[in-house]
Amino acid sequence: MPYVARAQLALPEIASPISFIVTPNNPGPEEKVTVRIESYSIDLDRATIDWFVNGRLFDRGNGLKTIDIETGRIGTETTVSVVVRPDAITEIFEQIAIRPMYVSILWEADTYTPPFYQGRALPSSNADILVEAYQYMTYPNGSVIPDDDFVFTWKKNGAILRDISGRGRTKARIAGPLLFGEDIISVEVVSVDNRYKGESRVRIAAVEPHISLYTDDPLLGIMFHRALLETDQIPIADITLAAIPFYMSIKNLLDRNISYEWNVNGQTIPTDPRDPFRIILRLSEGLIANALVSLSISHVDHFLQSTNASWSLLLSSAIGAPQRDPFFRSTN
Amino acid sequence: MFSKNTTWAIGGGILFAILLSLLGWFLFIRGQNNDLTRASAGRGFGTNIPIFDNANGGSTNQNIRDALLSGFGIFSRDSNEPDAEIENALPRLWNPSSVPVAGITLIGTSTDAKIQFVERPSGNIFEAYLKDGDVTRISNTLVPNVYRAFWGKDTRLVLQHLDENGEIATLIGSIEKMSTSTEESVGEFSGSYLEPDIVSVATSRERNDIFYIVKTIHGSVGIQINPENATQKRIFTSHVFGWRSVVVNGGTILLFQNPSQGIEGNAFLLKNNGDKTILKNNVRGLIASISRNEAHTLYNEIVQGRISLFSKIEDAPERQLSLTTLAEKCVFNPKNTSVVYCAVPRAIPEAQIPDAWYRGEIHFSDDWWIIDTENGTVEQLLSPESDYGITLDVVDPYINEEGTHIVFIDAKTRTPWVLRVVQ
C-alpha cells in the first residue's frame, strides 16, 4: 500500500510526536543504515508500527522501533515512513528522506618525505595539515552538484573553524596536533538549499619524526629502496651515508630550519653546511671495524620535532685486525 | 778534461739514476692504481658499470655471463627446465640483468614479445626478445641516476631522475636510431624535460596521452599531454600532493592517495575529460588496483599491522581474500580479469606496513599465487625461495596483453625479473 494513501494524519505536522534517529547521521551511498524512531508522548513499546521504504511495506510489528536498511546509489532518495497506532483510533504518520552523498576528507601533512617516496606525509608535532573536502552528489537529473553549491563547515575537535569554513571552501591548511596528541577534523557539507547533507571526519595523530639512513652510491644515487638497519654490515671501505628525516616541517634536506649533529664512535663530526645530511666513512686498507654512527636532527622552530637515531655499522675492506679507531671521517 | 773511465762512470751513474727513477715512478703509479681500483670497487665499479666491449654488448650481457658462471644459472637459458621441448626457451624465472633498473616492461606479442628495461646508473635502455633472451642495448644516451621509467606508446619513454638540487626531473622522449645505423645498431634517447617536481606519472601503451601530477604552490595539478600534437590539458587538481596514478585503460586513470597504515585513503577513477568518480573512500591504509576493463577491483585495508585484501567484482558484494598481500603486488590476467596473479609475502615482518616498506627498511620474500576472485580459491604458482633459494620482493609488476609473462622489479636489489606464467 503506498504510503501516500496514508498521508492524511491524525496529528498536525507541526506537533509531530515522532522523531527519527538515523545512524550514521549522514550516510553515504549503498551504506547500511539503522533508522530508529523516538517519542516523548507516545509509548512506542505498546504501539503497532508499520515501516515503509520507498512506499512499500518493509516491516511491521508491535513496538518495532528500529529497522536496518541500505541506502541507494548516489543521486537517489530513500524515503522511510512509519505509521504508528498507539491505540485503536489514533494513527500517526511520519516520514524522512535519506539522500546519500559521498563526503571524504583528503589530508596529508606539510612535512618532508624524500623524492619518489610512496607513503603518506605524516604530521610530527604541530606540523601543518593540508585538508581537502571531497563531495560527490548529483541532482535527480544526474548532473553533478558543484562545490560552490555547498557550504563547508570545518571543525577541529568539535569547534567550528570559521576562518576556513564557508560556501565552496573545500580546501584548508590547519595546525596539526602536538606531540602524542591527536585531533579530530570533521567537515559538514550542506547544500545551499538544505536539501543535501553529508559529513566526514578523520582522526589525525602526531607522530615522531623518523630518520632513515641510506647508502649514497656515486652511480646509483641515494639507495632509497634499501635503508641501513640499526645493525648492519657494509662490505666496502669507503661509503657515503645519507640521512633522510621523515615527517619534519621542512621543504628539503638543506632547509635552514634544521640542524644535523653527527657522531661517529663518540666523536662529533662537523657538518658541511652545503651538504649536512651526508657523511663519508672511509676505512683504512685491510681492516674491519665497527662504526657507531649517531645523528641528532633539531628543528629551530618546532622543538618537539627533534629526533635522533643511531646505527652500528660493520665496515670491512679486507681481512685484518681491527684497530681502535680506524675511520677517516669527512663531511665532503 | 775527463778520462774515458770517468766519463763512462758518470754516464752509467746518470743512466742508473734514470732507470731507478723510472722504476720508482712505475711502482708509485701501480700503487696509486691499486688504491683507485680498490676505491672504485668499493663504490661498486667493475660489477655494476657497463663495460662496453662492442656496440651491442654491455654490462648486462656480461652480467648474465657472470651469473652463469657464479651459480646463478637457474635463471639462465641453460636452466634445467622440465620441458625438454622448450630448447631455446628462457627459464621460467629469469633475471635479465644484475644491474639495478628504473623500470621494466613487456612489448609485443607471441614470437615478437620482448622486454625492455632502463638501467638506473646510466639510463641506457636494453631489450631482449623472449624467444632467445639475448640482451641488447638499444640506447646509449647517458642519463645518470634514473629512478623511475615509464613506457608510453611505441618507443616513447618517460624517465625520472634527480637534478643537482635533489629535485625530481622528468625527461620525456623516444629512442631514435642513428641515421647511419644498421638494424642492430644502438639508438639514441632523445627528448625534452617537463616541468620540475612531477610526483606521479602514468603512461599508456595504447594511447599517446601521458598523465602526470605536478606540485605547484596552489596544490597538485594533473596534466594530460599528447606529445604527438603537442597539446596538454589540466584534468585534475588537488590540495594534497601525495597521489599515485596508474593508467587503467585508454580512457581511465586510477588515482589513490599515498597510503599509510591506519590512515584513511581515497581512490578515484579519473576520465580523460576530467570527470572523477570515487572508487573507495575513507579506507584505512588503502592501496588499490583495478582491472583494465574496470570490472574487478582489489584493495587493501591496513590497520594495526593487519593487512586485509578485498576483491570486488562490479556490483557483487566484496569478498575478503584469504591471502595477505598488498594490492600493488598483483596484476589482473588480461584474458580473464577475475584471475589475479599476486606476489604474496611468505611472512609479514613486525613493522609499520606499508610505511616501513616504502622507506626501504623491511623487505618481503614473495611467492607467486593465482587467485580466482570469482570463488576466492587460491593456488601457488611459484615460490622463488622454495624452488630456487632466492628471495624476491616484488614491486611494479606488469603483465603482457597475452597474459603469458609478468615482469617486475625486486625491491631489495632493484634488479629486473621476468616470470613466465604458463608452465
d(CA B372, CA B327): 14
Cis bond upstream, residue B334 (ω within 30): no
Could you tell me which chain A residue has the CA closest to the CA of B119? A220
Q: C-alpha cell of A274?
A: 652545503
Q: Which residues of A touch B212 (CB under 8 A)?
A: none
pLDDT in tens, B347-376: 999 999 999 999 999 999 999 999 999 888
Fold of the CATH domain A210-330: Immunoglobulin-like (2.60.40)
Nearest chain B CA: its distance from A155 CA (Å): 18
User: What pTM value is reported for the model?
Assistant: 0.83
Could you tell me which chain B residue has the CA closest to the CA of A245? B359
Q: Using an 8 Å Cβ cutoff, are A246 and A210 in contact?
A: yes
**Which residue of B49, B239, B275 to mutate against A (max A Cβ within 10 Å)?**
B239
**Residue with more model confidence, A90 or B110:** A90
Q: Is residue A211 less than 8 Å (CB to CB) from chain B?
A: no
Give how far Cα A5 sits from Cα of A9, A32, A41, Å: 10, 28, 25
- Cβ of B39 within 8 Å of Cβ of A238? The answer is yes
- Cβ of B239 within 8 Å of Cβ of A116? The answer is no
Q: How high is the mean pLDDT of chain A?
A: 88
pLDDT in tens, B263-287: 999 999 999 999 999 999 899 999 9
d(CA B233, CA B200): 16
B62: left (phi over 0), alpha (psi -120 to 50) or beta: alpha
Side-chain half-sphere CA neighbours of B248 within 13 A: 25
| Residues in A 179-208 with any Cβ partner in B closer than 8 A | 200, 202
Residue B208, classed as helix, strand or coil, is coil
Which residues have C-beta within 8 Å of that of residue B40, sequence separation ≥ 6?
Answer: B46
Domain locations in chain A as residue ranges? 3-98, 102-205, 210-330
- pLDDT level of residue B239 (50, 70, 90 thresholds): very high
Res B52 pLDDT > 50: no
Write down the ipTM of this complex. Answer: 0.84
Mean per-residue pLDDT for A242-254? 95
Q: Using an 8 Å Cβ cutoff, are A99 and A74 in contact?
A: no
Could you tell me which chain B residue has the CA closest to the CA of A318? B38
Radius of gyration of chain A (CA): 31
Chains A and B form CB pairs within 8 A to the count of 143
Nearest chain A CA: its distance from B159 CA (Å): 13
DSSP A234-269: E-SSEEEEEEEEES-S-SSTT-TTEEEEEEETTEEE
Q: Is residue A223 less than 8 Å (CB to CB) from chain B?
A: yes
Q: Which residues of B touch A202 (CB under 8 A)?
A: 264, 282
Establish whether domains A102-205 and A210-330 are of one fold.
yes
| Enclosing H/E stretch for B191 | strand B187-193
- Cβ of A116 within 8 Å of Cβ of B148? The answer is yes
The CATH architecture assigned to A102-205 reads Sandwich (2.60)
- pLDDT level of residue B207 (50, 70, 90 thresholds): confident
- Cβ of A221 within 8 Å of Cβ of B162? The answer is yes
pLDDT given at position A140: 81
Q: How high is the mean pLDDT of chain B?
A: 83
Which member of A115, A220, A225 has the closest CB to residue B121? Answer: A220
**Residue with more model confidence, B165 or A10:** B165
pLDDT in tens, B375-401: 889 999 999 999 999 999 999 999 999
Q: Using an 8 Å Cβ cutoff, are B115 and B128 in contact?
A: yes
CATH code for A3-98? 2.60.40.10
Could you tell me which chain A residue has the CA closest to the CA of B279? A102
pLDDT in tens, A13-65: 456 789 999 998 888 888 899 999 999 888 999 999 999 999 999 999 999 99
pLDDT given at position A10: 37
Res A8 pLDDT > 80: no
Mean per-residue pLDDT for A282-301? 85
pLDDT given at position B76: 43
| Residues in A 244-263 with any Cβ partner in B closer than 8 A | 246, 252-253
Q: C-alpha cell of B102?
A: 628504473
The torsion angles phi and psi of B357, rounded to 5 degrees, stand at: -70, -45
